[in-house]
Amino acid sequence: MGFKNPECAEEQRQRLEAWVRQLESQPAAGRWAATYEVHLLTPIFGGGVVAGQPDPELPIRTREVLYQIRFWWRILKIADLRRRGVPDQLRKEETELFGWRGERRSRVHAVIEWRATPRSQWMSTWVRCNDPDNDRRLNYALWNQLTRDKGCSRFRWDRPAFRWRLELVDPATGQGQQKRELEEALRWWASFGGLGARSRRGMGAVQVMLMGDAQRGALLHSVQEEEATAAGCTLKISPESFDDPVAALGYGISKLYEFRQGNPEGRRRRYGRSNWPEPDAIRRLAGHWAHRHEPSHTAGNLFPRAAFGLPIQFPFKCGVDEIIERDESTGKSKYIRDVRRIELENGDPSRLKGEPTTMQLVPKGQDRLASPLILRPRIEADGRHRCVALRLPEPIAGLEGLTLSLEETRPSVPRYPLYQAARVRYWDPAQAHQVPPIHNVRKTDPLDAFLEFFSRP
């Protein structure tokens, strides 16, 4: 039987009180507990039970924190078991410590106590009030949230007031190896993790301080490059440092924008054609394009930017089934779908002219693939903030054996044969010399190429 996910503050409070009573009935000698104070570095999207929406009564759920710690524990444990030559022991050790749905409850519990009452603000308002450079940078990472007209997903929790005490307790861990593993997993979460949505693009980043008598107020040591390499990850640290964590995050987001869409890495000029093969690949698969946009990319029908997370949408300006119409309420022009222009004879699409319709790339048989690239700011020992870029190990990233499906974004309208979902290739390292953003840094993998670009001044 599965465990019910708490849906309100009252249910979580009752569950916590029951657990505290059980904990108090056990001897304190063999118990392990550690207390930390957590501060917010960057705004949080959501954080409640409903995805993308904040919960005023329960801004941060203890279960979310435990899931984060468990995620980083798995990364470290997989690397450790591989070194020991017993990778099949992962399920056993994970079940013993964190439990398993329907089999065993977790031994590790968390208690959250607020130090200050958090406030909320519209995310779009907050971005506009920041430095204009950060406005442009953050928009690239948060565009799907900021462009919505209304919705709870626009809320963020105010950083200065977002402080809380975190206590991790395990009645049976004591002072052994599992205690050290939990402390190490928490340190990795403090270095690379986050809370709420968009945490892999720097939202919800935290800093964690010790609250013990000996080291009260001391920051947890940040994970360094050699430690990340030992765990199967790749870590790069920005060459520049910043006074503000949001400015540090802006550096990483701007680097990602320049690599994927900026000039001259991502595009030949500011409003020119892409240096990546995906747009021309879609034109070839569709069989039609605008007269000025004949496919010319020589890498073939490849989609290397899938390495940065899926799904990806590929909009084309005024596609074959779109027209420009003036919105009478705002006076602005907008693109709409015009089904009348979709005219086929005997299923032959050769008559169509113009750019393809908007398409999206998704992992075959799945809705999404979380990005294996993590960008986020962190505070260093000197008190300055730097942006870090971390590539997760391959089994965690989900790129092994990745197969992709290209399909329309609007399935509600009549489809025509050339836009049925098609299976496409992700990447061929032999074609790296045909893709300027990858070739310019002398790499053959899209993520490795970005990490090299990120670390350059």
Give pLDDT, residue 246.
87
How do residues 330-388 score in pLDDT, each as one tens digit? Answer: 776 665 555 444 444 444 555 566 788 778 888 888 888 999 999 999 988 888 999 99
The predicted pLDDT at position 61 comes to 79
Q: Which residues in the chain show pLDDT less than 70?
A: 1-32, 46-57, 116-137, 143-161, 171-175, 212-217, 318-327, 332-353, 410-421
Amino acid at 89: Q
Are the C-beta atoms of 357 and 322 separated by less than 8 Å?
Answer: yes
373-379 and 422-424 beta bridge pairing: unpaired
pLDDT (0 to 100) of residue 380:
86
- The whole-angstrom separation of Cα 137 and Cα 164 is 29
Q: Tens digits of per-residue pLDDT, 124-172?
A: 666 666 555 554 567 777 765 555 544 444 555 566 667 778 878 776 6
- In the chain, the N- to C-terminal Cα span, in Å, equals 53
What does the pLDDT read at residue 50?
67
Q: What is the pLDDT of residue 26?
A: 56
Which residue(s) pair with 110 in the sheet?
168
Model confidence pLDDT, tens digit, residues 235-248:
999 999 999 898 89
CA–centroid distance for 249 within its chain = 13
Written as six digits, the tokens of 51 are: 């995805």
Separation of alpha carbons 374 and 225, rounded Å: 14
Query: Counting every residue, how long is the chain?
Result: 457
Question: 422-424 and 404-408 as β-strands: parallel, antiparallel, unpaired?
Answer: antiparallel
Query: In one letter, which amino acid is 308?
Result: F
pLDDT at 241: 93
3-state secondary structure of 333: strand
pLDDT confidence of residue 345: 43
Helix (H) or strand (E) holding 236: strand 234-237
